[in-house]
Amino acid sequence: MQLHRVVAVAMAVGLVGTACGARVSRDERSAAANAILSSSGSGTTGGTQATDGTTDTSSLGQQPGSDGNASGPTTNGTTGNSQPTTSGQTSTTTHGNQSTTTTKPGKNGQQTTTAGASCPTSGKDVGLTSNSIVLGGVADISGPVSGLFAGAKQGLAAFQAYANSQGGICGHQVQIQFGDSGTNCSQNQNVTEGLVNKVFAFVGNFSLYDGTGCGGKVIKDNPTVPDISVAIDPSLSTLKNHYDFAPGVPGYGTGMFAYYAKKFGTKVQRAGTITENIPSVLAKQKVFVHTAESQGWKFVYQNAASPTSSNFTSNFQQACGRDHIQVFFTETVNAQYAATMLANERSVAACKGVINVMGIAYDSALLGFYQGNPDDLIVYGWTPNALFFNADEAKNIPEVALFQQWFRRTNPGQPLNLYAMYVWSAGRLMQQAIENAGPTLTRKTALASLDRVKNFDENGLLIPSTPSSKTTGGHCYLLFELRHSTFSRVDDPATGFRCDGRFLPLN
């Protein structure tokens, strides 16, 4: 179930209880705050606040100009070298048993698409008319950390604008009803309850309180309502009407650990790690260590630091000076923590030559947080998604370009972020399900269509997964290196993922 897809939050947010009314401690709030500040802008988009706590956002964000064109991709953060690509091509590909649309940039930045294999020609249901469809979104925008999951709203805005520029989904203009769950269990449940009889489906919810004791209870009590989101609370992921990009039981892929064991040899037998002393973080770390050790790694130093720690120098003095680690591995909560760890490590003479493996390092904010010369940094890592803010990746993968274009069009000045990327992908999965729902579109036929989706990879933006699975997770990944302030693919196919190894369950 667990990919490091949302490590920026998932490792910090098991810190919240799932029972309604559960409170977040000061340290836990700090961890949640740190988990988002480096990867998502704090700005939110407009809308009219309703009395039930939801927002009428029929048109989220800044919409495209009257010509419907989106500007081409521009650089945001550090990127790899640009490579040539073809343009103006549109094709239809198959993901498992589902046909879906591949969209590629056309002339002058215009986008062209093909319709789904069997667009419905009729249907009526909650949130659905002959020419419109209402999708719901719930995310923590207010609360202890203002703008916590603003990226979710940004991703919805980008998807809505894109879909409507293409004439809607199968002729249905996309409208959005958005609710601020306020980083609060009761508010999440109330907002979700207020939307469930207004929207056709929930797309891209992001909340610390998404479990079945909070907002997830509404999803559980309404099993005909599709819910496509990245679950933070594991209880949500067990629901039949929940669809996730990291489904399955706790565990992890072995391929990346086997790769580094081969690359670095016996050095991985003297590995060290630092993580946050939060139950969910420790559970996540247990999965990583279990998987790494199955591939020959040995951790001679492990430390669980306070989630409010801002300096790890003493940890590195012990790890390097006393235990003589040769590889440092962490999936800490976010890029700010990673940058601090890197700077602290480099200040310890005994750590000279230590190899850093940090998947969380792929973040456009990392180099801005790093206190030192970023050109001196060498960091290895992997992601379960394409390098979504790289300009060169956009040139090679049309879906990355499409996401970048419409995100920037609807969220000017905001950084491309992981949460927006996942919500955009949730919208695209909903689009695919509707296009393949058969002659009549209803919630029931949409659910059946989602159940048929196999090996969904969002046209190369995500690793392949079966969103409906409750038993096994994905094991594909993309390797990257940070050198000379540039993130680049390394030992990967040009436009896909490595899928060596296997998914190893924790138990």
Report yes or no on 156 lying in a domain.
yes
CA distance linking residue 408 with residue 63, whole number of Å: 10
- Are 361 and 218 in the same domain? no
> Position 468: which residue type?
S
Report yes or no on 106 lying in a domain.
yes
CA distance linking residue 457 with residue 246, whole number of Å: 11
Report yes or no on 32 lying in a domain.
no
- Are 368 and 495 in the same domain? yes
Report yes or no on 467 lying in a domain.
no
Q: Is the per-residue pLDDT at 55 higher than 60?
A: no
- Are 114 and 194 in the same domain? yes
Phi, psi of 66, deg, nearest 5: -65, -20
User: Residue 45: pLDDT band by 50, 70, 90 thresholds?
Assistant: very low
User: What residue numbers bound the domain in which 494 lies?
Assistant: 251-383+477-505
pLDDT digits 0-9 by tens, 164-198: 999 999 999 999 999 999 999 999 999 999 999 99
- Beta-ladder partners of 125: 128
- Are 204 and 288 in the same domain? no
Report yes or no on 424 lying in a domain.
yes
CA distance linking residue 41 with residue 66, whole number of Å: 27
Residues in the chain: 507
- Are 334 and 401 in the same domain? no
* Total of domains in the chain: 2
- Are 145 and 228 in the same domain? yes
Pick the more confident residue, 59 or 131: 131
Q: Is the per-residue pLDDT at 145 higher than 60?
A: yes
Report yes or no on 225 lying in a domain.
yes
CB 228 within 8 A of CB 429: yes
**Alpha-carbon distance values, 367 to 7, 308, 371 (Å):** 18, 21, 8
Phi, psi of 299, deg, nearest 5: -100, 110
CA distance linking residue 41 with residue 235, whole number of Å: 28
Pick the more confident residue, 317 or 82: 317
Report yes or no on 357 lying in a domain.
yes
Residue-level pLDDT at 266:
98
- Are 174 and 230 in the same domain? yes
Helix (H, G, I), strand (E, B) or coil at 351: helix
- Are 195 and 281 in the same domain? no
CB 406 within 8 A of CB 413: no
- Are 368 and 497 in the same domain? yes
- Are 286 and 205 in the same domain? no
- Block residue for tokens 């929940």: 242
User: Residue 473: pLDDT band by 50, 70, 90 thresholds?
Assistant: confident
Pick the closest to residue 159 from 186, 178, 183 (CA basis). 178
Residue-level pLDDT at 280:
60
- Are 401 and 286 in the same domain? no
- Are 416 and 350 in the same domain? no
Report yes or no on 128 lying in a domain.
yes
Pick the more confident residue, 467 or 474: 467
- Block residue for tokens 């989101």: 229
Mean pLDDT, to the nearest integer, of 273-292? 83
Mean pLDDT, to the nearest integer, of 446-468? 96
User: Residue 60: pLDDT band by 50, 70, 90 thresholds?
Assistant: low
pTM above 0.85, yes or no: no
Mean pLDDT of the chain: 81
The CATH number linked to 302 is: 3.40.50.2300
- Block residue for tokens 């979104």: 137
User: Residue 500: pLDDT band by 50, 70, 90 thresholds?
Assistant: very high
Residue 192 CA, chain-centre distance (Å), reads 21
Residue-level pLDDT at 384:
94
What percent of the chain shows pLDDT beyond 90? 62
pLDDT digits 0-9 by tens, 431-454: 999 999 999 999 999 999 999 999
Q: Which two tokens stand for residue 141?
A: 């925008």
> Position 33: which residue type?
A
- Block residue for tokens 């959005």: 176
pLDDT digits 0-9 by tens, 9-25: 444 443 333 333 333 33
Helix (H, G, I), strand (E, B) or coil at 283: helix
